[in-house]
Chains A and B, each alone.
Chain A
Amino acid sequence: MILMENASLEEVREKAVEKMKAENCRILICAGTGCLAGGSEKIYSKLKEMADGIEGVSLEFGPEAAHVGVHQSGCHGFCEMGPLVRIEPWNYLYIKVKEEDCEEIFQKTILKGEPVERLMYTQNDTVYPQQESIPFYAKQTRRVLKNCGHINSEDINEYIAIGGYKALSKALFEMKSDEIIEEVTQANLRGRGGGGFQTGYKWKQVARQKETIRYVVCNGDEGDPGAFMDRSVMEGDPHKMLEGMIIAGYAVGAQEGYIYVRAEYPLAIKRLKIAIAQAEEYGILGDNILGSSYSFHIHINRGAGAFVCGEGSALTASIEGERGMPRTKPPRTVEQGLFAKPTVLNNVETYANVAMIIENGFEWYRKLGTETSPGTKAFALTGSVKNTGLIEVPMGTTLREIVFDIGGGLIDDAPFKAVQIGGPSGGCLVTQNLDVKLDFDSLKKLGAMIGSGGLVVMDEGTCMVEVARFFMNFTQNESCGKCVPCREGTKRMLEILERITSGKGELSDLDMLEELGAAITATALCGLGKSAALPVLSTLKNFREEYVAHVTEKRCQTGTCQAMRKYIINPELCKGCSKCARNCPVNAISGKIKEPYVIDTKTCIKCGACMDNCPFHAIYIAN
Chain B
Amino acid sequence: MLEQSYYDRADEIIANHGNMQKSLIPVIQDIQSYYRYLPAELLSYVAAKLDINEAKAYSVATFYENFSFEEKGKYVIRVCDGTACHVRKSSLILGKLYKELGLSKEKHTTDDMMFTLETVSCLGACGLAPVLTVNEEVHPAMTPEKVAALLEELRGELK
Give A residues with C-beta under 8 Å from B: 33-34, 36-38, 78-80, 82, 222-228, 231, 262-266, 301-307, 318-325, 380, 382-384, 388-390, 420, 423, 454, 456, 458, 462, 470, 474, 477-478, 480
Contact = CB atoms under 8 A, between A and B. Distances in A.
Given A302-B29, A305-B66, A322-B60, A34 B128 contact: yes
9 contacts: A33-B125, A37-B125, A228-B122, A228-B126, A264-B123, A301-B25, A305-B65, A423-B83, A477-B121
Given A37-B128, A80-B127, A388-B126, A323 B63 contact: yes
Interface in B59-88: 59-60, 63-67, 81-84, 86-87
A227 B25 CA distance: 25
Given A34-B128, A79-B125, A474-B121, A383 B87 contact: yes
A462 B52 CA distance: 50
A263 B66 contact: yes
Contact of A37 (B66, B121, B140): B140
B102 interface: no
A504 to B, nearest CB: 21
Interface string B113-137: 0000000111111111101000011
Contact of B128 (A80, A307, A321): A80
Contact of B83 (A319, A382, A478): A382
Contact of A306 (B65, B83, B127): B65
A34 B127 contact: yes
A458 B120 CA distance: 22
A390 B126 CA distance: 10
A324 B128 contact: no
A423 B86 CA distance: 13
Contact of A382 (B20, B24, B63, B126): B126
Given A226-B82, A302-B25, A304-B65, 20 more contacts: A36-B138, A37-B137, A79-B128, A80-B127, A80-B128, A222-B124, A223-B121, A228-B124, A228-B125, A231-B124, A263-B29, A304-B25, A305-B65, A306-B64, A321-B24, A321-B52, A323-B59, A323-B63, A454-B83, A462-B87
A608 to B, nearest CB: 10
Given A36-B138, A320-B21, A454-B83, A305 B122 contact: no
A304 to B, nearest CB: 4
B127 A307 contact: no
B126 to A, nearest CB: 5
A382 B80 CA distance: 15
Contacts of B60: 321-323
Contacts of A303: 66
B105 interface: no
Interface residues of B, dominant DSSP:
mixed
A304 B31 CA distance: 13
Nearest to B136: A266
B22 A78 contact: no
B23 interface: yes
Contacts of A38: 128, 140
B60 to A, nearest CB: 6
A420 B83 contact: yes
Given A36-B138, A382-B129, A319 B124 contact: no
The 8 closest A-B pairs by CB, nearest first: A79-B127, A225-B82, A304-B64, A305-B65, A226-B83, A228-B124, A37-B138, A225-B122
A538 to B, nearest CB: 15
A462 B83 CA distance: 12
Contacts of B138: 33-34, 36-37
A321 B51 CA distance: 12
B84 A226 contact: yes
Contacts of B121: 223, 225, 307, 474, 477-478
Given A225-B121, A227-B122, A78 B87 contact: no
Contact of B122 (A226, A304, A458, A477): A226
B139 interface: yes
A390 B65 CA distance: 28
Contacts of B81: 225
A265 B23 CA distance: 20
B25 A321 contact: yes
Contacts of A302: 25-26, 29
A306 B62 CA distance: 11
Given A323-B59, A323-B60, A456 B84 contact: yes
Given A321-B60, A478-B121, A78 B127 contact: yes
A146 to B, nearest CB: 19
A222 B124 CA distance: 9
A237 B38 CA distance: 34
B22 A319 contact: yes
Nearest to A80: B127
B67 A304 contact: yes
Interface in B18-74: 20-26, 29, 52, 59-60, 63-67
Contacts of B65: 304-306
Contacts of A325: 63
A308 to B, nearest CB: 9
A113 B19 CA distance: 58
B140 A383 contact: no
A430 to B, nearest CB: 17
A77 to B, nearest CB: 8
Contacts of A305: 64-66
A235 to B, nearest CB: 9
Q: In the complex, which of the residues A37, A78, A384 has the most CB atoms of chain B within 10 Å of its own CB atom? A: A37
Contacts of A470: 83, 86
B143 to A, nearest CB: 13
Contacts of B26: 301-302
Contact of A304 (B22, B29, B82, B84): B29
A284 B143 CA distance: 47
Contact of A320 (B22, B84, B129): B22
A324 B64 contact: yes
